[in-house]
A = this chain, B = another copy of it.
Amino acid sequence: MFSVALSLKEHLEVNDVGHLTLHGVDLVELAGRYGTPLFVFDEATLVGNFERFRRAFESFYPKVLVCYSIKTNNNLAICRILREKGAYAEVSSALDLHIALKAGFPGERIIYDGPFKPADALEKAIKEHVLLINCESLAELERLDKVAESLGVRQAVGLRVNPFRDPGFSKYFSLNKLVNAAYCNLDGKFGFSLDEAYAAFEKALKFKNLSVEGIMAHPYRDATRVLPPLISELREGLGIKFKYVNVGGGFYSGDVRFVGGKELISDFLRRKIGLKSKLTEEVAVPSIEAVAKALLSEIGNSLKELSDPVLIVEPGRFITSSAGILLVRVDHVKSAGGYKWAFVDAGTNILPRFSAVELRRVVVANKASDDPCEEYNVSGPLLYSDDFITLKAQLPEVCEGDILAILCCGAYTLSRSNQFLYPRPAALLVGSNSEVRVIRERETFEDVFYKDRNI
């Protein structure tokens, strides 16, 4: 349907009984042995994605810190593997910080982001000597200054700048601006607005216990647009020569396809008049090498003016998404509302969605060499109409008991899963040597309410 990251595809094969294998490990057998639903992570893809990402940036700019965004997948084993390969960690809460430390990241390889940092979390971060704390408000700078003072430390800080302009009606009207304003400019709550950025840096320089060393914007597409002029202005006006330039995250590997209502409707109409579906076509996604090249050509001059500071990038989804497969079991199939529905044993409780519709690539693991012959919607077991794994998947005939491999489920699944109606599944790690290890145990019913007191 659309691209699966190359590294994962290289390790997926079909064996002589038609089962999907990962490094030769039969995924249907794994599902039988460990039960479904079941997360299976591919160590080679995880490491390959990280190393490819780092190489892509390093080949265009030598001083790059790849800070893995812990929130994407906070499993201890996953975090530990990335730490061993040289990743830095980006943490966004006290819990993230705790997990990063537990996974063995030294403070010097941790940066602390996010709009919400209580004093005790800041204190812990400083005591652990985190590399950089990115601040998002004057209130946070004041708090951090106090904490640093109490600990007798001069803390390195970066200021996060919000690249989205206030969508007021003063300049150009557009429907998007109107919607954005009506929704209270939700994007606008992060960091310092562009209008106030200069004054914010000026104030930040006056705190005795803070050392202003970084500038940050997120996501990277917008960061590269707003940072160059701002960096020049701050250098010329306030003499700031940043040690760290942070362009955030948002790097996408094309693994999951986010589809909007308009696309769904136009596709439906195309098919009604006999045209081919656009949703089943491959979508060209620029390679990470192309993204790195474009990014550095956009901000390269600014970096040179600053005498080549450290460039910080914060990928999460890019590294973990294609490294994770979710194995689910087909409970039953039914025709309803003009579509064929395959009901499986996991849904949005463990595959939460970010947009209205996310299309995921599905393989019938026990019929992996069969050609697709029909279109299925794959539904989860919850009781909501929007509990689906994917829509309009082209699959071989699907029956009760079939095992579906949902590809590219490694990002924002374990960490954002909930226990609504079902305990959460186990996770395995498959090594390149075909070794299978349990990295998270399956929850029992009792685990779901083990904090409840039945007074």
Contact = CB atoms under 8 A, between A and B. Distances in A.
Majority secondary structure, A binding face: mixed
A452 B417 contact: no
Contact of A332 (B139, B183, B381, B452): B139
B391 A184 contact: yes
Contacts of A443: 451
A221 interface: no
Interface in A366-394: 377, 379, 381, 383, 385-386, 388, 391-392
Nearest to A354: B384
Interface string A436-455: 01111111010111011111
A152 interface: no
A139 B265 contact: no
Given A166-B338, A265-B178, A452 B439 contact: yes
Interface residues of A, number: 102
Contacts of A116: 331, 343, 345, 381
Contact of A454 (B103, B193, B392): B103
Nearest to A441: B451
B76 A334 contact: no
A168 B102 contact: no
Interface string A334-374: 10111101010100000010000100000000000000000
Interface of A: 71, 74-77, 80, 92-96, 98-99, 102-103, 113-116, 118, 137-140, 143, 162, 164, 166-169, 178-179, 181-190, 193, 261, 264-265, 267-269, 272, 331-334, 336-339, 341, 343, 345, 352, 357, 377, 379, 381, 383, 385-386, 388, 391-392, 400, 415-424, 426, 429, 437-443, 445, 447-449, 451-455
13 contacts: A75-B452, A115-B379, A118-B331, A118-B345, A162-B336, A164-B337, A184-B339, A184-B391, A186-B386, A189-B334, A190-B385, A193-B337, A441-B453
